Structure 1
């Protein structure tokens, strides 16, 4: 495995790091209080090409491979998680189905606007009765003439309140279900029959908008099928795999920031006449935070590298998501502990990261589901060896 970055990747990594630290992070408290991302920060993201990280250059994107994209998402993870959530959901699961699986017509129609950030993408799979069990969809699509008619409800859809383009999964053959009966569609916000609910109120990720999306006889042109009819569940797994290593990279970036904040605080805060950094208990927490973060980084980039080699890397992507998000939660907990009472105060970033970390163990496949996937892959591999 070779995780070595190209000179271009290194330059972009440095540029994004400077942008995040100097231009985005100063607005973190404002984002938290207003629950809105300032428009000028989104415009700057457009200028930097952040909305087209993985979209090929011929469609106006930067065309980074998975490892390259992870380096950018890692730097974005250093600031308010709502900012990286918006961009990550757009560049990951929101648009990658079109990039990887759509026909040329759909790519030419949608990717240029998605790459520029003029249109925002989202991924609509979860339903009130189908979260971890994504095979249990109730949203249906029935073909009538030159349109598919969608009916059903999706929920907790990131970017939905302002998204323009939705990757939607629906049952097209109830009897076949996940084995040939689920299809993926590109649905535009202004198609007849689509309604977006009010933004959800959440424990964390304030500024990252999620909402219900309701389809009532929503008319979708037949040409807006992503991939093959009936192969939507396979498509979802393909898209989610890349999204999971991206979430791993974002989590690692947040860990890096928390380690910096905790180290700085430990050197400045004095108790019993000396900095708390001199206390072995604090040193051990810092050591664990750093060690686990580096392990998470290695797992994440291994998964990304395998994807770039054309491997499915199902097990590796799940391991990266599972471990990196678990680590993020442990690092956030230790950061609050090191900050003591100040870590519990909303004015300190540790409190915000602590709340924002919690969702990472739930979305894009709960960590319990990741364990199921990893175990199934392991057992399948062993069965092949035995036979």
Structure 2
């Protein structure tokens, strides 16, 4: 694989980092999980349009989106880029028709809409039953990211012949979205569907397209990219603190135990970085990447947990002060640890892939 970043990736990172750093220096995120002025600033800077699919946007793809997501993670930016651009709009563009793209993606480019995503998990299941007019959806999905405010939801449902991908407007009859307060805010929602009737215009892709699995892979890669930004910046903050905090007349970074924790944190961050880019590159090239994606998400969960706890332990009591920025990285790392499947779930998936013979 090629680890070299494209010129576009460098440009997007170089544009996003100072914009987000300036915002982080001046703002403390509220619990809504959605800073609309920041989202508008990203739109004005062209970061949304650049990575939206053509013909609505410039058509840059997964690798460029990952570069933006890393910068968003470094700032723990409360904007729905992951769900709206990297997964929702990308899935609609990849599997939807022109009418679906104009209905749901064009408003994103104009700054008039955001999207939530609800891929199936071990605990959350939605079923799709064939009807004369289209489909009936039943079931629920908890803690849907961006569900508290999104204008539409891209969701996975289990149909009679396998998983299907649907996109539904927020005001669809019978669809209920109830705000939930999760570890770092109130952007999530409980999605409930009770005999919701939809037409084929709400279905993304055709039989055999495997749109739901595609969206699930993209969501997982996007979460890994965001987590890389979180843990990368968390480790930087912890190292800076260890160099300046004095104890017994010397920086705490000179103590062996602290140095070991920081060294372990460095290895964890690099593990996330390498596995993320391997998975993202293979996915972008159309190569088999299932095992690589699962591996990246495992490291995203494990490293996120360890780096977050190292950060709080080294900072001691100020690591949990609400008026000090460190706690935001702890919360973001812990939430992303479990987003779209925690470490144990990834290991079970990987074990199955390694031990069950593939059909010829």
Instruction: Verify same fold: TM over 0.5.
Output: yes
Between the aligned partners of 1:384 and 1:222, the Cα distance in structure 2 is: 32
Between the aligned partners of 1:250 and 1:36, the Cα distance in structure 2 is: 15
Is 1:144 aligned to residue 132 of structure 2? yes
Between the aligned partners of 2:254 and 2:162, the Cα distance in structure 1 is: 61
* Equivalent residue, structure 2, for 1:330: 306
TM-score by length of 1: 0.85
Between the aligned partners of 1:227 and 1:21, the Cα distance in structure 2 is: 39
* Equivalent residue, structure 2, for 1:191: 172
Q: 1:143 to 1:24 in 2, by over 3 A?
A: farther
Q: How does 1:163-312 map to 2 (within 5 A)?
A: 163-173=150-160, 180-197=161-178, 199-202=179-182, 204-206=183-185, 209-229=187-207, 234-312=210-288
* Equivalent residue, structure 1, for 2:72: 76
Q: 1:88 to 1:108 in 2, by over 3 A?
A: same
Give, in angstroms, the shift of residue 268 of structure 1: 1.4
Give, in angstroms, the shift of residue 16 of structure 1: 0.5
Between the aligned partners of 1:355 and 1:67, the Cα distance in structure 2 is: 26
User: Which secondary structure does the structure 2 equivalent of 1:153 belong to?
Assistant: strand
Give, in angstroms, the shift of residue 19 of structure 1: 1.0
Q: 1:81 to 1:132 in 2, by over 3 A?
A: farther
User: Which secondary structure does the structure 2 equivalent of 1:223 belong to?
Assistant: helix
Between the aligned partners of 1:116 and 1:375, the Cα distance in structure 2 is: 44
User: Which secondary structure does the structure 2 equivalent of 1:195 belong to?
Assistant: strand
Between the aligned partners of 1:349 and 1:38, the Cα distance in structure 2 is: 17
* Equivalent residue, structure 2, for 1:91: 85
Runs of at least 5 residues in structure 1 that lack an aligned partner in the other structure: 174-179
Between the aligned partners of 2:240 and 2:195, the Cα distance in structure 1 is: 56
Give, in angstroms, the shift of residue 112 of structure 1: 1.6
Between the aligned partners of 1:150 and 1:219, the Cα distance in structure 2 is: 7
User: Which secondary structure does the structure 2 equivalent of 1:144 belong to?
Assistant: coil
* Equivalent residue, structure 2, for 1:369: 345
Is 1:160 aligned to residue 147 of structure 2? yes
Q: 1:308 to 1:159 in 2, by over 3 A?
A: same
Is 1:110 aligned to residue 98 of structure 2? no
Between the aligned partners of 1:133 and 1:151, the Cα distance in structure 2 is: 14
TM-score by length of 2: 0.91
Q: 1:267 to 1:216 in 2, by over 3 A?
A: same
User: Which secondary structure does the structure 2 equivalent of 1:357 belong to?
Assistant: helix
* Equivalent residue, structure 2, for 1:357: 333
| RMSD value, Cα | 2.5
Between the aligned partners of 2:350 and 2:181, the Cα distance in structure 1 is: 32
Check conservation: 1:70, 1:246, Cα contact below 8 A.
yes
Check conservation: 1:49, 1:115, Cα contact below 8 A.
no
User: Which secondary structure does the structure 2 equivalent of 1:3 belong to?
Assistant: coil
Runs of at least 5 residues in structure 2 that lack an aligned partner in the other structure: none
Check conservation: 2:243, 2:253, Cα contact below 8 A.
yes
Give, in angstroms, the shift of residue 183 of structure 1: 2.7
